């Protein structure tokens, strides 16, 4: 017996020695493991060590068969499946890695590293829900503090209020607990409080700079907050440590796309698809970059590929519909009807299919059926994303009360004096992309995208410009000094610099919702150009109603809300016409279509630019376009769409009622609103 014990003891000593060599001298570790296997063939600890050592040496061709064999012989060993998954990921077999990780966590549910790796892979393939769940399980499994376990369990089970209460209580006792700070940031992200999550994660990294999971969260939150340049800095740090991490690489691609670096993003997606060829969401992301860069035929093929992999993927149908120039075949419509008849279809997939079928039936001139499906899609979205029309009206009335002639006169000379920004604003679907394309075809103007920077500045002003209190936006804005207003203008210019790729002196910000911040623009950028893109209220509002926006624009999913929003917009813009005469240059969409050259000349003059013929050939401009009109503005102007809303007029009663006198007066403004 003592001899057997001595043999076992010697074996354990040899294994321990090999394991210690693994980090610094993996080749010696592999040799040690091989020697052990000569003495004890099939020893699973030595076999695992050998496979990991091979991988650490870069010899994945030897590691993979060794670990596959080990998993085959030990099908219930979670650690073996985890190490196999890591190796599969290294050789670009992402789908197989996901399967191995699912097996590992099935066998050992508290295996924190496996949950995190699974989250990284699911993030890479665009499964945001699955990735969030996996990361939450990672947090729970990694939490050793019994005081955090209950909060982690609540987070996993999506009991958010309980998780938040427990975490805040814990952080009162232990304010530097980085695990708790990261978990509270996760709560903020689930609730859409991204600014709070950003602050918490920044504190995490201040306390623990090597906390990579927090840095990954921080990069994601920065990107969601419209700060892609800052996010890029964070994800690059992560990739230095783990260049093969699929979650980091996918985030990098998304950030690059947000920065307008589409070719780089496209290349990352292309490489990831070689590793995850069966993942429809990843194909979708690749398709979006192809569409944005004008590769229409390729994007259609890629969206079709995604549908082949998952026929219920509503977003793939909508991506095809959203090309605007694409036409569904009858077989596509029949397939969408079959999909809608399914009882296991998620709400998200269902609403995308409803919008897509609405577009297909519209193209087939079946307008009543088309409207029925648009209405169903809108109702479903509204149920998932509530909106308060009253809050928007109150904001507008607050602006009218604040922004008087006297208010602006008292602040004359404030702000950053640059002439560079050209703001194109108004409602979505009002022709702003057309105006952007016309302007961006001028040699002195660069087109960017719908920049989030100004709304972000407005949110920070509303939070009290860092003072800790949270007054309303208008109250806080009124308290700013001339120096603070100038600093905000300079910050806008600096924060948008990463979105500009040329040395053109002018650049376009076409975030439509910036009409809410015309007063802010004038205060912080008094020499910037402001262009109001305006379209017939029924044509504009109906076009919004038929559009499922990727994010935001929550007012567009109910006809009455749309009418109230349009009316608020007219009221505020009329106010600025009165208190800042001539400050806003207005373009009426229908006039732009009917009298293109004259309106183009007037537009350029309004921007202080000389006329250039290229602006009339805007459809030849090969720049990337990110909005729903991307394919339409790559074609010459056509008039056919101007009165298209009339096909749907029988069902627009609630919209007409909400618009009130604005409808009858268009394009003029009624005396009373």
356: closest CA among 303, 280, 407, 429? 303
Beta strands of 464-602 (E only): which ranges? 506-509, 529-534, 584-588
Res. 634: pLDDT tops 70: no
Whether pLDDT at 425 is above 80: yes
Q: State how far the alpha carbon of 290 is from the alpha carbons of 151, 319, 499, in Å.
A: 42, 12, 19
CA–CA separation, 213 vs 221, rounded Å?
13
Phi, psi (deg, nearest 5) at residue 338: -65, -40
- Token pair recorded at residue 155: 């987070």
Q: Which two tokens stand for residue 132?
A: 């969030």
For residue 67, count other CB atoms closer than 10 A to its CB.
Answer: 28
Q: Which among 328, 324, 276 has a CA at the least distance from the CA of 304?
A: 328
Q: How many percent of the chain have pLDDT more than 90?
A: 67
What is the reported pLDDT for 640?
64
CA angle in degrees (0–180, nearest 5) for 596-600-603: 140
Q: Does any domain span residue 540?
A: yes
Closest to 627 in 3D by CA, of 556, 550, 532 = 550
pLDDT in tens, 456-502: 999 989 986 544 344 589 999 999 999 999 999 999 999 999 889 88
pLDDT of residue 241: 93
422 DSSP β-pair partners: 508, 529
Mean per-residue pLDDT of the chain: 90
Q: Per mean pLDDT, which range of 212-221, 383-392, 545-554, 630-639 is the poorest?
A: 630-639
Instruction: Identify the pLDDT of residue 15.
Output: 76
Average pLDDT over residues 354-363: 97
User: Domain containing 592: what range?
Assistant: 389-665
d(CA 284, CA 307) in angstroms, rounded, equals: 9
Residue 538 is assigned to a structural domain of this protein:
yes
In this structure, what CATH number is given to the domain that contains residue 564? Answer: 3.40.50.300
Band (pLDDT 50/70/90 cuts) for residue 17 is confident
The answer to whether residue 615 is domain-embedded is yes
- 530 contacts 511 by C-beta, under 8 angstroms: no
> Which pLDDT does position 176 carry in this prediction?
86
Average pLDDT over residues 108-135: 87
Domains held by the chain: number:
1
| pLDDT at position 5 | 43
Q: What is the pLDDT of residue 468?
A: 39
User: What pLDDT does 4 receive?
Assistant: 44
User: Is residue 598 situated within a structural domain?
Assistant: yes
Asked if 404 contacts 488 with a C-beta cutoff of 8 angstroms, the reply is no
Structure tokens given for 110: 């508290």
pLDDT at position 621 over 70: no
What is the CA 381 to chain-centroid distance, rounded?
18
Of the candidates 572, 455, 438, 593, the one whose C-alpha atom is nearest the C-alpha of residue 508 is 438
**Contact predicate 115/138, CB 8 Å:** yes
Complete DSSP assignment for 588-636: EHHHHHHTHHHHHHHHHHHTT----GGGGGGGG------STTTTGGGS-
Question: Rounded to an integer, what distance in angstroms lies between the CA atom of residue 241 and that of residue 233?
Answer: 13
| Confidence at 631, pLDDT banded by 50, 70, 90 | very low
pLDDT score for 420? 97
Q: Could you give the strand order of the β-sheet that contains 584-588, starting from the edge strand earlier in sequence?
A: 445-449, 506-509, 421-426, 529-534, 584-588
Is the model's pLDDT at 639 over the cut of 90?
no
Q: What's the pLDDT at 33?
A: 80
Q: Cβ distance 268 to 253 under 8 Å?
A: yes
pLDDT value, residue 469? 41
pLDDT > 80? residue 9: no
For residue 641, what pLDDT band results from cuts at 50, 70 and 90? confident
Q: Is residue 554 part of a domain?
A: yes
The per-residue pLDDT for 343 is: 95
Q: Which residue has the tokens 């398709």?
A: 287
Q: How far apart are CA 146 and CA 179, in angstroms?
A: 12
Per-residue pLDDT at 3:
43
pLDDT greater than 70 at residue 624: no
Q: What is the pLDDT of residue 30?
A: 82
Mean pLDDT of 70-78: 93
pLDDT value at position 43? 87
pLDDT at 349: 96
407 in a domain, yes or no?
Answer: yes
Split at pLDDT 50, 70, 90, the class of 141 is confident
Q: How confident is the model at residue 638 (pLDDT cuts 50, 70, 90)?
A: low
Whether 190 is in a domain gets the answer no
Residue 99 inside a domain? The answer is no
- 269-293: average pLDDT: 93
Q: Distance between CA atoms of 223 and 236, rounded to whole angstroms?
A: 13
> How many other C-beta atoms are found inside a 10 Å radius of the C-beta of residue 297?
8
């Amino acid at each position: 017996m003592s001899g057997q014990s001595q043999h076992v003891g010697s074996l354990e000593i040899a294994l321990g020695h090999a394991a210690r060599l693994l980090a610094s001298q993996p080749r010696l570790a592999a040799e040690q493991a091989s020697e052990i296997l000569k003495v004890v063939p099939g020893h699973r600890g030595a076999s695992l060590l050998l496979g990991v050592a091979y991988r650490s040496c870069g010899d994945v061709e030897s590691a993979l068969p060794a670990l596959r064999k080990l998993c085959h012989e030990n099908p219930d060993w979670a650690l073996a499946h985890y190490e196999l998954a890591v190796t599969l990921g290294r050789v670009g077999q992402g789908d197989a890695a996901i399967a191995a990780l699912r097996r590992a966590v099935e066998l050992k549910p508290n295996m924190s590293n496996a949950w995190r790796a699974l989250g990284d892979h699911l993030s890479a393939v665009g499964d945001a829900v699955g990735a969030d769940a996996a990361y939450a399980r990672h947090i729970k499994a990694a939490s050793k503090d019994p005081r955090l376990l209950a909060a982690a369990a609540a987070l996993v089970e999506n009991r958010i209020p309980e998780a938040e209460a427990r975490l805040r209580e814990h952080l009162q006792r232990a304010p530097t607990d980085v695990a708790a700070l990261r978990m509270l940031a996760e709560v903020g992200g689930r609730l859409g409080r991204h600014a709070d999550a950003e602050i918490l994660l920044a504190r995490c990294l201040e306390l623990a700079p090597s906390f990579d999971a927090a840095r990954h969260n921080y990069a994601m939150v920065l990107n969601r907050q419209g700060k892609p340049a800052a996010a890029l800095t964070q994800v690059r740090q992560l990739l230095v440590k783990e260049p093969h991490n699929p979650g980091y690489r996918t985030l990098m691609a998304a950030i690059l796309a947000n920065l307008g670096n589409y070719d780089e993003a496209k290349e990352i997606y292309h490489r990831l698809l070689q590793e995850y060829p069966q993942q429809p969401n990843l194909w979708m992301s690749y398709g979006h970059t192809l569409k944005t860069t004008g590769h229409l035929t390729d994007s259609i093929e890629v969206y079709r590929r995604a549908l082949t992999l998952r026929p219920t993927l509503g977003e793939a149908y909508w991506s095809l519909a959203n090309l605007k120039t694409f036409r569904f075949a009858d077989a596509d419509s029949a397939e969408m009807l079959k999909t809608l008849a399914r009882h296991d279809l998620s709400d998200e997939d269902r609403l995308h299919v409803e919008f897509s079928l609405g577009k297909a039936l519209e193209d087939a001139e079946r307008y009543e059926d088309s409207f029925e499906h648009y209405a169903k899609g809108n109702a479903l979205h509204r149920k998932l994303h509530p909106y308060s029309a009253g809050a928007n009206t109150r904001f507008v009335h607050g602006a009218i009360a604040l922004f008087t002639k006297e208010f602006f006169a008292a602040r004359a000379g404030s702000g950053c004096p640059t002439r560079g920004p050209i703001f194109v604003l108004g409602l979505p679907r009002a022709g702003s992309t057309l105006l952007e394309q016309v302007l961006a075809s001028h040699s002195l103007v660069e087109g960017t995208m719908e920049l989030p920077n100004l709304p972000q500045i407005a949110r920070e002003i509303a939070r009290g410009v860092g003072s800790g209190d949270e007054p309303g936006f208008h109250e806080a804005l009124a308290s700013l000094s001339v120096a603070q207003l100038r600093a905000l203008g300079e910050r806008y210019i600096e924060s948008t610099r990463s979105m500009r790729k040329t040395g053109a002196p002018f650049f376009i910000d076409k975030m439509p919702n910036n009409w809410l911040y015309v007063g802010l623009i004038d205060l912080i950028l008094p020499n910037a150009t402001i262009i109001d893109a305006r379209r017939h209220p029924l044509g504009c509002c109906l076009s919004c109603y038929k559009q499922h926006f990727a994010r935001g624009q929550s007012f567009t999913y109910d006809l009455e809300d749309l009418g109230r929003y349009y009316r608020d917009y007219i009221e505020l813009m009329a106010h600025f016409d009165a208190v800042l005469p001539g400050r806003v240059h207005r373009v009426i969409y229908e006039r732009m279509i009917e009298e293109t050259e004259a309106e183009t000349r007037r537009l350029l003059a309004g921007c202080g630019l000389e006329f250039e013929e290229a602006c009339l050939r805007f459809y030849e401009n090969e720049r990337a376009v990110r909005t729903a009109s991307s394919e339409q503005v790559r074609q010459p102007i056509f008039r056919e769409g101007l009165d298209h809303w009339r096909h749907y007029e029988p069902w627009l009663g609630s919209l007409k009622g909400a618009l009130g006198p604005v409808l009858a007066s268009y394009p003029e403004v009624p005396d009373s609103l």
